[in-house]
Amino acid sequence: MSSTLNQRELLNTHQLDSLPTTHPLKTTGVAESPMLKALTGQKGSHHPVWFMRQAGRSLPEYRKVREGIPMLEACLTPELACEITLQPVRRHNVDAAIFFSDIVVPMKLAGVDVDIVPGKGPVLSQPVRTAEDVKNLPELEDSALDPIREAVSLTVKELGDTPLIGFAGAPFTVAAYMVEGGPSRDHLRPRTMMHSDPDTWHALGQWAARTAGQFLQTQIEAGASAIQLFDSWAGSLSESDYRTYIQPHSAQVLQSVAHYGVPRIHFGTGTAQLLKAMHEAGADVVGVDYRLDLAEAQHRLGGGVPLQGNIDPALLSAGWDVLKEHVDHVLADGACAPSHIVNLGHGVPPETDPEILTRLVEYIHTQTAREVA
Protein backbone atom coordinates (compact mmCIF):
# COMPACT_ATOMS: atom_id res chain seq x y z
CA MET A 1 0.00 0.00 0.00
CA SER A 2 1.31 3.46 -0.82
CA SER A 3 2.21 6.01 1.85
CA THR A 4 -0.66 8.16 0.59
CA LEU A 5 -3.15 5.41 1.36
CA ASN A 6 -1.61 4.80 4.78
CA GLN A 7 -1.93 8.49 5.61
CA ARG A 8 -5.51 8.59 4.39
CA GLU A 9 -6.46 5.54 6.40
CA LEU A 10 -5.01 7.03 9.60
CA LEU A 11 -6.74 10.34 8.92
CA ASN A 12 -10.06 8.60 8.40
CA THR A 13 -9.68 6.66 11.65
CA HIS A 14 -9.30 9.98 13.47
CA GLN A 15 -12.17 11.56 11.60
CA LEU A 16 -14.55 8.75 12.53
CA ASP A 17 -14.75 10.44 15.94
CA SER A 18 -17.34 12.75 14.36
CA LEU A 19 -19.74 9.84 13.78
CA PRO A 20 -22.42 8.93 16.34
CA THR A 21 -21.32 6.37 18.94
CA THR A 22 -23.98 3.99 17.61
CA HIS A 23 -22.64 4.08 14.04
CA PRO A 24 -21.90 0.62 12.53
CA LEU A 25 -18.26 1.58 11.93
CA LYS A 26 -17.94 1.81 15.72
CA THR A 27 -20.26 -0.93 16.93
CA THR A 28 -20.07 -3.80 14.39
CA GLY A 29 -17.49 -5.54 12.20
CA VAL A 30 -18.19 -3.25 9.25
CA ALA A 31 -14.81 -1.51 9.54
CA GLU A 32 -13.06 -4.87 9.02
CA SER A 33 -15.31 -6.06 6.22
CA PRO A 34 -13.81 -6.83 2.79
CA MET A 35 -15.73 -3.86 1.37
CA LEU A 36 -14.37 -1.27 3.80
CA LYS A 37 -10.87 -2.66 3.48
CA ALA A 38 -11.03 -2.34 -0.29
CA LEU A 39 -12.52 1.14 -0.12
CA THR A 40 -9.49 2.25 1.91
CA GLY A 41 -6.97 0.62 -0.42
CA GLN A 42 -6.39 -2.56 1.57
CA LYS A 43 -6.59 -6.23 0.62
CA GLY A 44 -9.22 -8.36 2.36
CA SER A 45 -10.21 -12.03 2.36
CA HIS A 46 -11.67 -11.62 -1.12
CA HIS A 47 -12.48 -8.95 -3.65
CA PRO A 48 -15.79 -7.42 -2.54
CA VAL A 49 -18.61 -7.18 -5.04
CA TRP A 50 -21.88 -5.30 -5.27
CA PHE A 51 -23.99 -4.21 -8.23
CA MET A 52 -25.33 -0.80 -9.11
CA ARG A 53 -29.13 -0.90 -9.22
CA GLN A 54 -28.97 -4.22 -7.40
CA ALA A 55 -31.83 -3.15 -5.13
CA GLY A 56 -34.68 -3.81 -7.51
CA ARG A 57 -35.52 -4.09 -11.18
CA SER A 58 -34.37 -7.66 -11.83
CA LEU A 59 -35.66 -9.15 -8.57
CA PRO A 60 -39.14 -10.71 -8.47
CA GLU A 61 -39.38 -9.92 -4.74
CA TYR A 62 -38.74 -6.26 -5.58
CA ARG A 63 -41.46 -6.19 -8.20
CA LYS A 64 -43.85 -7.81 -5.72
CA VAL A 65 -43.33 -5.27 -2.91
CA ARG A 66 -43.35 -2.35 -5.38
CA GLU A 67 -46.59 -3.43 -7.06
CA GLY A 68 -48.92 -0.43 -7.32
CA ILE A 69 -46.53 1.85 -5.42
CA PRO A 70 -44.97 4.83 -7.27
CA MET A 71 -41.18 5.07 -7.20
CA LEU A 72 -40.89 8.18 -5.03
CA GLU A 73 -43.43 6.85 -2.56
CA ALA A 74 -41.37 3.67 -2.27
CA CYS A 75 -38.22 5.71 -1.67
CA LEU A 76 -39.88 7.75 1.08
CA THR A 77 -41.60 4.89 2.92
CA PRO A 78 -38.91 3.83 5.44
CA GLU A 79 -39.99 0.22 5.94
CA LEU A 80 -40.28 -0.35 2.19
CA ALA A 81 -36.99 1.37 1.35
CA CYS A 82 -35.32 -0.78 4.01
CA GLU A 83 -36.81 -4.01 2.64
CA ILE A 84 -35.79 -3.22 -0.94
CA THR A 85 -32.26 -2.30 0.15
CA LEU A 86 -31.89 -5.63 1.96
CA GLN A 87 -33.28 -7.90 -0.77
CA PRO A 88 -30.13 -8.26 -2.92
CA VAL A 89 -27.96 -8.82 0.15
CA ARG A 90 -30.16 -11.73 1.19
CA ARG A 91 -30.38 -13.20 -2.29
CA HIS A 92 -26.91 -12.62 -3.76
CA ASN A 93 -24.61 -12.41 -0.70
CA VAL A 94 -23.11 -9.18 -2.03
CA ASP A 95 -20.57 -7.43 0.17
CA ALA A 96 -22.49 -4.15 0.51
CA ALA A 97 -26.00 -2.79 0.32
CA ILE A 98 -26.71 0.36 -1.66
CA PHE A 99 -29.40 2.56 -0.16
CA PHE A 100 -32.58 2.38 -2.23
CA SER A 101 -33.32 5.89 -3.43
CA ASP A 102 -33.33 8.08 -6.52
CA ILE A 103 -31.33 11.11 -7.58
CA VAL A 104 -34.42 13.36 -7.45
CA VAL A 105 -35.36 12.46 -3.85
CA PRO A 106 -33.48 15.44 -2.30
CA MET A 107 -35.14 17.71 -4.86
CA LYS A 108 -38.55 16.28 -3.96
CA LEU A 109 -37.91 16.63 -0.23
CA ALA A 110 -36.90 20.26 -0.71
CA GLY A 111 -40.31 20.97 -2.24
CA VAL A 112 -39.58 20.96 -5.97
CA ASP A 113 -42.54 19.63 -7.96
CA VAL A 114 -40.97 16.55 -9.56
CA ASP A 115 -42.28 13.08 -10.26
CA ILE A 116 -40.89 9.92 -11.82
CA VAL A 117 -43.07 9.02 -14.78
CA PRO A 118 -43.04 5.29 -15.61
CA GLY A 119 -41.27 4.65 -18.88
CA LYS A 120 -39.89 8.19 -19.03
CA GLY A 121 -38.07 9.14 -15.84
CA PRO A 122 -37.96 12.29 -13.69
CA VAL A 123 -40.19 15.12 -14.92
CA LEU A 124 -40.47 18.60 -13.36
CA SER A 125 -43.66 20.60 -13.58
CA GLN A 126 -41.56 23.73 -14.22
CA PRO A 127 -38.00 23.62 -15.64
CA VAL A 128 -35.34 25.79 -13.97
CA ARG A 129 -33.84 28.03 -16.66
CA THR A 130 -33.43 31.57 -15.36
CA ALA A 131 -31.70 33.33 -12.48
CA GLU A 132 -35.13 33.99 -10.98
CA ASP A 133 -36.03 30.31 -11.23
CA VAL A 134 -32.89 29.40 -9.30
CA LYS A 135 -33.46 32.14 -6.72
CA ASN A 136 -36.94 30.76 -6.05
CA LEU A 137 -35.79 27.19 -5.43
CA PRO A 138 -36.69 26.03 -1.91
CA GLU A 139 -33.96 25.00 0.49
CA LEU A 140 -33.98 21.48 1.91
CA GLU A 141 -35.13 21.57 5.53
CA ASP A 142 -33.50 19.12 7.93
CA SER A 143 -36.85 17.81 9.18
CA ALA A 144 -37.80 16.79 5.63
CA LEU A 145 -35.00 14.22 5.77
CA ASP A 146 -36.59 12.26 8.64
CA PRO A 147 -37.87 9.45 6.34
CA ILE A 148 -34.31 8.97 5.10
CA ARG A 149 -32.95 8.81 8.65
CA GLU A 150 -35.54 6.23 9.60
CA ALA A 151 -34.98 4.10 6.50
CA VAL A 152 -31.20 4.05 6.94
CA SER A 153 -31.47 3.29 10.66
CA LEU A 154 -33.83 0.39 10.03
CA THR A 155 -31.54 -0.95 7.32
CA VAL A 156 -28.25 -0.92 9.20
CA LYS A 157 -29.85 -2.71 12.14
CA GLU A 158 -30.64 -5.59 9.79
CA LEU A 159 -27.33 -5.54 7.91
CA GLY A 160 -25.07 -6.26 10.88
CA ASP A 161 -21.48 -6.47 9.60
CA THR A 162 -22.44 -5.72 5.98
CA PRO A 163 -21.84 -2.05 5.13
CA LEU A 164 -24.45 0.27 3.69
CA ILE A 165 -23.39 2.61 0.90
CA GLY A 166 -25.15 5.97 0.85
CA PHE A 167 -26.18 7.41 -2.46
CA ALA A 168 -26.73 10.77 -4.15
CA GLY A 169 -26.92 12.13 -7.67
CA ALA A 170 -24.08 14.45 -8.62
CA PRO A 171 -24.82 18.15 -9.22
CA PHE A 172 -24.49 18.03 -13.01
CA THR A 173 -26.96 15.19 -13.45
CA VAL A 174 -29.45 16.76 -11.04
CA ALA A 175 -29.08 20.22 -12.56
CA ALA A 176 -29.36 18.81 -16.09
CA TYR A 177 -32.73 17.26 -15.26
CA MET A 178 -33.85 20.55 -13.72
CA VAL A 179 -32.88 22.65 -16.72
CA GLU A 180 -34.29 20.21 -19.27
CA GLY A 181 -37.40 19.61 -17.16
CA GLY A 182 -36.96 15.88 -17.72
CA PRO A 183 -34.74 13.31 -19.46
CA SER A 184 -32.67 14.30 -22.47
CA ARG A 185 -30.45 12.54 -24.98
CA ASP A 186 -27.85 15.26 -25.39
CA HIS A 187 -28.36 17.72 -22.47
CA LEU A 188 -28.18 20.68 -24.81
CA ARG A 189 -29.99 23.14 -22.55
CA PRO A 190 -27.73 22.74 -19.49
CA ARG A 191 -24.63 22.73 -21.67
CA THR A 192 -25.82 25.94 -23.32
CA MET A 193 -26.61 27.56 -19.96
CA MET A 194 -23.07 26.91 -18.70
CA HIS A 195 -21.68 29.18 -21.41
CA SER A 196 -24.52 31.64 -22.00
CA ASP A 197 -25.35 32.30 -18.34
CA PRO A 198 -22.56 30.92 -16.15
CA ASP A 199 -23.66 32.82 -13.05
CA THR A 200 -27.09 31.18 -13.13
CA TRP A 201 -25.54 27.81 -13.89
CA HIS A 202 -23.17 28.02 -10.92
CA ALA A 203 -25.99 29.16 -8.63
CA LEU A 204 -27.99 26.10 -9.67
CA GLY A 205 -24.93 23.87 -9.24
CA GLN A 206 -24.42 25.21 -5.73
CA TRP A 207 -28.06 24.50 -4.88
CA ALA A 208 -27.77 20.95 -6.20
CA ALA A 209 -24.51 20.46 -4.28
CA ARG A 210 -26.03 21.72 -1.03
CA THR A 211 -29.01 19.40 -1.23
CA ALA A 212 -26.87 16.41 -2.24
CA GLY A 213 -24.52 17.15 0.66
CA GLN A 214 -27.40 17.29 3.14
CA PHE A 215 -28.79 14.06 1.72
CA LEU A 216 -25.47 12.24 2.12
CA GLN A 217 -24.77 13.68 5.57
CA THR A 218 -28.11 12.38 6.76
CA GLN A 219 -27.38 8.89 5.43
CA ILE A 220 -23.92 8.82 7.00
CA GLU A 221 -25.08 10.00 10.39
CA ALA A 222 -27.88 7.42 10.35
CA GLY A 223 -25.46 4.57 9.61
CA ALA A 224 -24.05 4.55 6.04
CA SER A 225 -20.38 3.51 6.08
CA ALA A 226 -19.46 4.81 2.61
CA ILE A 227 -21.08 6.96 -0.06
CA GLN A 228 -21.29 7.02 -3.84
CA LEU A 229 -21.79 10.19 -5.87
CA PHE A 230 -23.36 9.12 -9.15
CA ASP A 231 -23.07 11.30 -12.26
CA SER A 232 -25.27 9.75 -14.95
CA TRP A 233 -24.76 12.44 -17.59
CA ALA A 234 -21.27 13.88 -17.07
CA GLY A 235 -20.00 11.86 -20.01
CA SER A 236 -21.60 14.41 -22.34
CA LEU A 237 -19.01 16.99 -21.25
CA SER A 238 -15.48 17.81 -22.35
CA GLU A 239 -12.78 17.76 -19.68
CA SER A 240 -12.41 21.52 -19.94
CA ASP A 241 -16.12 22.15 -19.38
CA TYR A 242 -16.21 19.60 -16.58
CA ARG A 243 -13.35 21.26 -14.73
CA THR A 244 -14.82 24.74 -15.18
CA TYR A 245 -18.53 24.18 -14.67
CA ILE A 246 -18.95 20.88 -12.80
CA GLN A 247 -15.94 19.88 -10.76
CA PRO A 248 -16.32 22.69 -8.19
CA HIS A 249 -19.85 21.56 -7.39
CA SER A 250 -19.02 17.86 -7.17
CA ALA A 251 -16.08 18.83 -4.97
CA GLN A 252 -18.48 20.79 -2.76
CA VAL A 253 -20.56 17.64 -2.21
CA LEU A 254 -17.60 15.39 -1.50
CA GLN A 255 -16.01 17.97 0.79
CA SER A 256 -19.26 18.33 2.74
CA VAL A 257 -18.91 14.75 3.99
CA ALA A 258 -15.10 14.62 4.25
CA HIS A 259 -15.09 15.27 7.99
CA TYR A 260 -16.87 11.98 8.67
CA GLY A 261 -13.93 9.99 7.31
CA VAL A 262 -16.06 7.47 5.41
CA PRO A 263 -14.85 6.43 1.93
CA ARG A 264 -16.25 8.38 -1.01
CA ILE A 265 -16.84 6.72 -4.39
CA HIS A 266 -17.33 8.85 -7.50
CA PHE A 267 -18.85 7.18 -10.55
CA GLY A 268 -20.09 8.41 -13.90
CA THR A 269 -21.12 6.84 -17.18
CA GLY A 270 -19.13 7.55 -20.32
CA THR A 271 -16.57 9.50 -18.28
CA ALA A 272 -13.27 7.98 -19.48
CA GLN A 273 -12.03 11.48 -20.38
CA LEU A 274 -12.98 12.80 -16.94
CA LEU A 275 -11.60 10.19 -14.53
CA LYS A 276 -8.66 12.25 -13.30
CA ALA A 277 -10.81 15.34 -12.81
CA MET A 278 -13.47 13.29 -10.98
CA HIS A 279 -10.82 11.86 -8.68
CA GLU A 280 -9.42 15.31 -8.03
CA ALA A 281 -12.89 16.47 -6.99
CA GLY A 282 -12.29 14.55 -3.76
CA ALA A 283 -13.06 10.90 -4.43
CA ASP A 284 -11.26 8.15 -2.52
CA VAL A 285 -12.42 5.50 -4.99
CA VAL A 286 -13.11 5.98 -8.70
CA GLY A 287 -15.82 3.97 -10.42
CA VAL A 288 -15.12 2.96 -14.02
CA ASP A 289 -17.80 2.08 -16.52
CA TYR A 290 -17.58 -0.77 -19.03
CA ARG A 291 -16.13 1.36 -21.86
CA LEU A 292 -12.58 1.56 -20.49
CA ASP A 293 -10.28 -1.20 -19.22
CA LEU A 294 -9.37 -0.84 -15.57
CA ALA A 295 -5.65 -0.93 -16.36
CA GLU A 296 -6.03 2.05 -18.69
CA ALA A 297 -8.18 3.82 -16.11
CA GLN A 298 -5.47 3.37 -13.49
CA HIS A 299 -2.88 4.68 -15.95
CA ARG A 300 -4.95 7.80 -16.58
CA LEU A 301 -5.35 8.33 -12.84
CA GLY A 302 -1.60 8.16 -12.30
CA GLY A 303 -1.59 5.05 -10.10
CA GLY A 304 -2.41 4.29 -6.48
CA VAL A 305 -6.18 4.79 -6.73
CA PRO A 306 -8.68 2.13 -5.55
CA LEU A 307 -11.03 1.27 -8.41
CA GLN A 308 -14.61 0.08 -8.70
CA GLY A 309 -16.08 -1.66 -11.76
CA ASN A 310 -16.38 -2.67 -14.55
CA ILE A 311 -18.28 -5.75 -15.77
CA ASP A 312 -20.27 -4.99 -18.92
CA PRO A 313 -23.97 -5.36 -17.96
CA ALA A 314 -24.76 -6.62 -21.46
CA LEU A 315 -22.75 -9.78 -20.81
CA LEU A 316 -24.95 -10.84 -17.89
CA SER A 317 -27.24 -12.36 -20.52
CA ALA A 318 -24.55 -13.59 -22.91
CA GLY A 319 -24.13 -17.05 -21.38
CA TRP A 320 -21.99 -18.18 -18.46
CA ASP A 321 -18.86 -19.06 -20.43
CA VAL A 322 -18.77 -15.65 -22.12
CA LEU A 323 -19.47 -13.86 -18.84
CA LYS A 324 -16.85 -15.87 -16.94
CA GLU A 325 -14.14 -15.06 -19.49
CA HIS A 326 -15.04 -11.38 -19.33
CA VAL A 327 -15.03 -11.36 -15.51
CA ASP A 328 -11.62 -13.05 -15.45
CA HIS A 329 -10.33 -10.22 -17.65
CA VAL A 330 -11.84 -7.60 -15.34
CA LEU A 331 -10.29 -9.24 -12.28
CA ALA A 332 -6.89 -9.42 -13.96
CA ASP A 333 -7.07 -5.77 -14.98
CA GLY A 334 -8.18 -4.77 -11.49
CA ALA A 335 -4.93 -6.10 -10.06
CA CYS A 336 -3.29 -2.86 -11.25
CA ALA A 337 -5.03 -0.98 -8.42
CA PRO A 338 -4.17 -1.09 -4.70
CA SER A 339 -7.66 -2.57 -4.26
CA HIS A 340 -10.59 -3.40 -6.51
CA ILE A 341 -14.30 -3.43 -5.73
CA VAL A 342 -15.96 -5.58 -8.37
CA ASN A 343 -19.11 -4.08 -9.84
CA LEU A 344 -20.88 -3.57 -13.11
CA GLY A 345 -19.90 -0.77 -15.45
CA HIS A 346 -23.46 0.51 -15.06
CA GLY A 347 -26.74 -0.72 -13.53
CA VAL A 348 -28.30 -4.18 -13.55
CA PRO A 349 -30.55 -4.51 -16.63
CA PRO A 350 -34.14 -5.31 -15.56
CA GLU A 351 -34.25 -8.49 -17.68
CA THR A 352 -31.22 -10.02 -15.90
CA ASP A 353 -31.74 -13.48 -14.44
CA PRO A 354 -31.14 -13.07 -10.69
CA GLU A 355 -29.54 -16.52 -10.57
CA ILE A 356 -26.75 -15.22 -12.79
CA LEU A 357 -25.96 -12.47 -10.29
CA THR A 358 -25.93 -14.93 -7.39
CA ARG A 359 -23.63 -17.26 -9.31
CA LEU A 360 -21.40 -14.35 -10.30
CA VAL A 361 -20.92 -13.23 -6.69
CA GLU A 362 -20.01 -16.76 -5.64
CA TYR A 363 -17.54 -17.08 -8.51
CA ILE A 364 -15.82 -13.76 -7.74
CA HIS A 365 -15.55 -14.62 -4.05
CA THR A 366 -14.01 -18.04 -4.68
CA GLN A 367 -11.76 -16.89 -7.55
CA THR A 368 -10.27 -14.00 -5.69
CA ALA A 369 -9.97 -15.50 -2.22
CA ARG A 370 -6.79 -17.27 -3.34
CA GLU A 371 -5.36 -14.14 -4.94
CA VAL A 372 -5.73 -11.85 -1.93
CA ALA A 373 -4.91 -14.37 0.80
**What amino acid positions are annotated as catalytic residues?**
53, 57, 66, 102, 177
| Separation CA 193–CA 178 (nearest Å) | 12
Residue type, 313: P
Contact 244, 284 (CB under 8 A): no
Neighbouring residues of 146: CB distance < 8 A, sequence distance ≥ 6: none
Residue (of 333, 320, 344, 318) closest to 368 by Cα position = 333
Residues paired with residue 169 on neighbouring β-strands, in sequence order: 230
Residue (of 359, 371, 341) closest to 51 by Cα position = 341
| Separation CA 140–CA 137 (nearest Å) | 9
The secondary structure element, H or E, covering residue 222 is helix 198-222
| DSSP string computed for 148-202 | HHHHHHHHHHHHTTS-EEEEEE-HHHHHHHHHHTS--SS-HHHHHHHHH-HHHHH
Contact 220, 19 (CB under 8 A): yes
Contact 283, 266 (CB under 8 A): yes
352: left (phi over 0), alpha (psi -120 to 50) or beta: beta
